[in-house]
Structure 1
């Protein structure tokens, strides 16, 4: 690897981590400001970092919809099974300072899915594949994606090592879908289904639990 290429690759890996874990938290923005800042920074990053752009295809759409359907089916099953529904109902609300519709329709698609897929599957992963090959590139890209979530986990009080491990695994799956379909549509659809379902399902679970308690004998 040439020194110039090495420096560019290191910068491409470091910049997302610096942004997510150091710069963005210090800006003190509310959720609307964070969404706008993340989307703007991701766009600038993609324009600045040279990478082989992926292409959109019907195969990517089909694979993405299939993967997303599996996630949605999992949430439906969890809502239908009382013991799993109770666990969903106990999960913390991740978008407390905005209406649920705004959280699901704006902040998840733009602030999370668009921003992260553009930075990672759309820019960084193709660059790492080109420099190191698909195997090492997949590992490095997934690990960087996991480390990107350190500050967000700290902000909501989640276990940081567990969050990094889970999001690293998720990044590996998203990256596999990108390589499988040669585009970012499939991982973006899966990412959207996972995050939107994670926001909607606990709310539905709480409503179902409250309704079921209200219908029990002796609660009149």
Structure 2
């Protein structure tokens, strides 16, 4: 239990730091936090296999990851070409990024910052620690709930940045509250699905691949939609 509380504390500190630190420190902070989390788990006696980082499941994880990442891209491209869903890709936050900044976001910030920390933290360390204490059902429920709450701060500006989100939730404080609540529920459900991928494959690679594909392809298409006008 002590290791679990320590891991949650590291994630809470990382959430605060990545919000207040400049963008230059985002990836180093995420990498450092992920390393601390793995250290906590290993000192608690968890094996690499329990963390989803073992060699035995790596090839299966890679196979799953390639297929699922490709499926995400296919769905995104379909949505991109449908008039009804194309507007959802237009995000004002992408308008201020140069092509070099966007490339860095897609190839470095997302995989080695966001995805590394969140997958190691929620689907790796927390899931493994709670599984040892209470089993996989509790591990999935708790880690996914915390994963949803993790997205409260990032979702606060959603209605201001995305015209489709503003149209759905409305402007002003009520719209912000609804959009944040929806983001928390949505990411919580996504957390359950990612935990299940991790459980079934025995590897962190599939949830990492899906998470990275969702974010990186999403950012890339958002930038293209915003700058294509």
Query: Could you say what secondary structure the match of 1:151 adopts?
Result: coil
1:203 positional shift? 2.1
| Separation (CA, whole Å) in 2 of partners of 1:88 and 1:196 | 13
User: Number of aligned pairs?
Assistant: 200
Give the gaps of 5 or more residues in structure 1.
1-5, 211-220
Name the counterpart of 1:78: 79
Question: For the aligned residues, what is the CA RMSD?
Answer: 2.2
| Separation (CA, whole Å) in 2 of partners of 1:83 and 1:24 | 34
Query: Quick check: 2:65–2:209 contact (8 Å CA) kept in 1?
Result: yes
Name the counterpart of 2:92: 92
Name the counterpart of 1:3: none
1:23 positional shift? 4.2
Query: Could you say what secondary structure the match of 2:138 adopts?
Result: helix
Query: Could you say what secondary structure the match of 1:154 adopts?
Result: coil
Query: Quick check: 2:10–2:33 contact (8 Å CA) kept in 1?
Result: no
Name the counterpart of 1:8: 3
1:94 positional shift? 5.2
Greater C-alpha Rg:
1
| Separation (CA, whole Å) in 1 of partners of 2:17 and 2:220 | 29
| Separation (CA, whole Å) in 2 of partners of 1:95 and 1:200 | 12
| Separation (CA, whole Å) in 2 of partners of 1:146 and 1:73 | 25
Query: Could you say what secondary structure the match of 2:155 adopts?
Result: helix
1:70 positional shift? 1.5
TM-score (normalised: structure 2) = 0.78
Question: Structure 1 residues 28-37 or 135-144, which shifts more?
Answer: 28-37
Name the counterpart of 2:154: 152
| Separation (CA, whole Å) in 1 of partners of 2:206 and 2:88 | 29
TM-score (normalised: structure 1) = 0.81
Alignment of 1:15-164 (within 5 A): 15-20=10-15, 22-25=16-19, 28-49=20-41, 50=44, 51=46, 52-54=50-52, 55=54, 56-89=57-90, 91-93=91-93, 96=96, 99-154=101-156, 159-164=179-184
Change (3 A) 1:155 1:79: closer
Name the counterpart of 1:214: none
Change (3 A) 1:106 1:118: same
| Separation (CA, whole Å) in 2 of partners of 1:183 and 1:206 | 36
| Separation (CA, whole Å) in 2 of partners of 1:178 and 1:105 | 23
The superposition leaves residues 87-114 of structure 1 with CA deviations (integer Å, 9 ceiling, x where unpaired) of 322x232594561111111101111111
The superposition leaves residues 58-78 of structure 1 with CA deviations (integer Å, 9 ceiling, x where unpaired) of 221121222211211111101
Change (3 A) 1:96 1:173: farther
